[in-house]
A and B are shown apart, each in its own frame.
Chain A
């Protein structure tokens, strides 16, 4: 099963490589990875999506917790949560397709953020499934480049991941 694990870790050089190295070293899988400092500049928040059965996920969280640079973590998929990913897509926009791309972007509540005579750059946010669907819809028009941030997430309700 797919899990989203969010980690608060020391914002120090080498911390990221320890987390990523752990996944490689123990043969765990990283589907997406996303990391940035938090409002507390000594802490970074890293969100990783991974796939594994319960036993593997239990080992992943235990080993992550063992890393000295990891302060706290939560498996967001254990409860209700919000999951978002941002994607920038450059698509061909010539002739009739120009309107078609704009219309499809509207349907997906995406925005055209940059324009040239021959292409649009579209920005879209949502869960991974929505982004995949948008790419499928754009495929016939011609996708030129895709940049995805990887999943970020937060728990619904009163639950807070902080020190």
Chain B
């Protein structure tokens, strides 16, 4: 038996749980915990420069590794600064445990210094939250927090820890709880066999089928199974933004991703399909466009681990509640050795799809010409070439995010790291940092824009402290590109506050932290600059790449239309 203080229990628990890095920022209410961390060396703490960055860094790590990211912040402003990152993780179902210091328990409710009801503040954006009422509860509560964060539909869990719960003078017995049980929480372990049979039956009889898969396949570790199933059936597949890489994008059967800025062939195929097999996707409004016009001729199979996702926005004909991996494996065993009923129809369906593909071939954007600014799309294509499509790519939010998703080709899951649901500007750089710290030998590239980057650029200081060699691509169009695009389309180009009149000299700014930065204006400069950037995996390099501010992201679905209603360029629409 071992007697430990609450603070030492936390440090010890994190060790026993196998946590290697935590991201945080100290402050009064968390100081006992920080002292406990100081007196051990297994769990390494990364000191960020703003608590939002701590959550994004933990989130980036979680997305890349599938394991929960861990954050430690103090009470009050420390905790409220973490809120945007918690909401980001919640919207994308990312496992995360956030430990928040809190004022002493006898002061709670007195409006004490740095007191915030963080349980109340975060209630709508967490999977669950706990408050520690006695130091001896700490091991069990933390185990529950990790268990809840990482099982079922993952999500962030907040643990509020009043300072007196971690007092060094009070010691209690510590035992690492190997298992926990919650009577009210039993995530489904497998799908309903009858429903899966029904779904497979529809799949075998379909004439114009399509798979539509999302982040649930990535978090559910089901990419391998999905690839096997899709290839056995020979069906086309489109993924959501969150599902990118869950099926190799370079394979012929992959039509890219779908929705508001999805590929022409994906959206056309969805609209004309007679069967949509959705796995781990949630029929989000950025995917479906107008739900009343969505996939008018299709039957819908919907596989999801969260029952409340099923039939939330689009009614499923065959709902299946279960984990993606298990359901896909059962589907594979059911299709094994069976032939599809309408092979001719499927061949015809492919002809149609290939036709759509050809229609847009070479017309996706117009490459830059001499004396004109670079196109953001060609920058992404160059990055993809030079990193052989194998880098971890993080993004911020806006046009650059869509271009990165459209023009970088991902063949592996967990490689495209983006804030899909919440759309958090400022996410990309700290997320890249969290990944690079855990995967030092991989190339980690943050593709950002000057708007998003300025929301979290203080993290250069963190990178300096820990020697974090992320690569930063700043697609600089000196404007908030996506806002500007909407203003061009809907507000007669009245660019209200979507431009940046006082950009810093990013090169000097980067150099102030002791890193290398290059400015790129032309096509000739681009490839050498990228080569220079990638030369040393462990060196942070910033590329300030000036791109055409007039460029729009296309295709773009027409508001309130169906999947096939798209603007294809500034002058073409379907």
Partner-B contacts on A (CB < 8 A): 9-10, 13-14, 17-18, 21, 25, 55, 58-59, 62-63, 65-66, 68-72, 163
Contact = CB atoms under 8 A, between A and B. Distances in A.
Contact of B311 (A9, A55, A68): A55
Contacts of A55: 311, 315
A17 B123 contact: yes
B467 interface: no
Contacts, number: 37
Interface stretch (B43-51, B178-186, B336-344, B495-503): B178-186
A9 B184 CA distance: 8
B148 A68 contact: yes
A69 B185 CA distance: 8
A65 B315 CA distance: 20
Interface stretch (B53-61, B124-132, B168-176): B124-132
Nearest to A163: B183
B184 A68 contact: yes
Contacts of B119: 14
B306 interface: yes
Contact of B184 (A10, A21, A58, A63): A10
B93 to A, nearest CB: 12
Interface string B174-210: 0000000011110000000000000000000000000
B308 interface: yes
Contact of B183 (A13, A21, A59, A71): A71
Interface string B530-552: 00000000000000000000000
Nearest to B144: A68
A79 to B, nearest CB: 21
Contacts of B312: 59
Nearest to B306: A66
Contacts of A13: 131
Contact of B308 (A10, A59, A69): A59
Contacts of A17: 120, 123
B440 interface: no
A150 B429 CA distance: 51
A62 B308 contact: yes
Given A14-B119, A55-B311, A59-B308, A25 B124 contact: yes
5 contacts: A25-B124, A65-B308, A68-B148, A68-B182, A68-B185
Nearest to A72: B184
Interface in B306-328: 306-308, 311-312, 315
A70 B311 contact: no
B451 to A, nearest CB: 29
B128 A68 contact: yes
Nearest to B157: A68
B308 A63 contact: yes
Nearest to A22: B124
A25 to B, nearest CB: 5
B184 A71 contact: yes
B123 A18 contact: yes
A21 B124 contact: yes
Contact of A62 (B183, B184, B307): B307
Task: Tell which of A13, A17, A68, A70 has the most Cβ of chain B within 10 Å.
Answer: A68
B123 A70 contact: no
Contacts of B307: 62, 65-66
B152 to A, nearest CB: 9
B550 to A, nearest CB: 39
Interface residues of B, number: 19
Contacts of A63: 308
A70 B312 CA distance: 20
Nearest to B119: A14
A17 B148 CA distance: 19
A89 to B, nearest CB: 35
Contacts of A65: 307-308
A71 B181 CA distance: 13
Contacts of B306: 66
A21 B311 contact: no
Nearest to B128: A68
Contacts of A70: 184
B283 to A, nearest CB: 13
Nearest to A68: B128
A68 B127 contact: yes
A24 to B, nearest CB: 9
Interface string B118-155: 01100110011101000000000000000010000000
A70 B307 CA distance: 15
Contacts of A66: 306-308
Contacts of A163: 183
Nearest to A13: B131
Given A58-B311, A65-B307, A21 B185 contact: no
A17 to B, nearest CB: 7
Nearest to B307: A62
Contacts of B148: 68
Interface string B408-449: 000000000000000000000000000000000000000000
A128 B417 CA distance: 53
A77 B283 CA distance: 30
A71 B128 CA distance: 14
Contacts of A59: 308, 312
Contacts of B311: 55, 58
A14 B127 contact: no
A19 to B, nearest CB: 11
Contacts of B124: 21, 25
Contact of B123 (A10, A21, A62): A21
Nearest to A58: B311
Contacts of B123: 17-18, 21
A17 B124 CA distance: 10
Nearest to A63: B308
Given A18-B123, A62-B308, A63-B308, A69 B184 contact: yes
Interface in B197-249: none
Nearest to A62: B308
B184 A14 contact: no
Contacts of A62: 307-308
Given A68-B148, A70-B184, 8 more contacts: A10-B184, A13-B131, A66-B306, A66-B308, A68-B127, A68-B128, A68-B184, A69-B184
A75 to B, nearest CB: 15
A38 B185 CA distance: 20
A72 B184 CA distance: 7
A135 to B, nearest CB: 36
Nearest to A70: B184
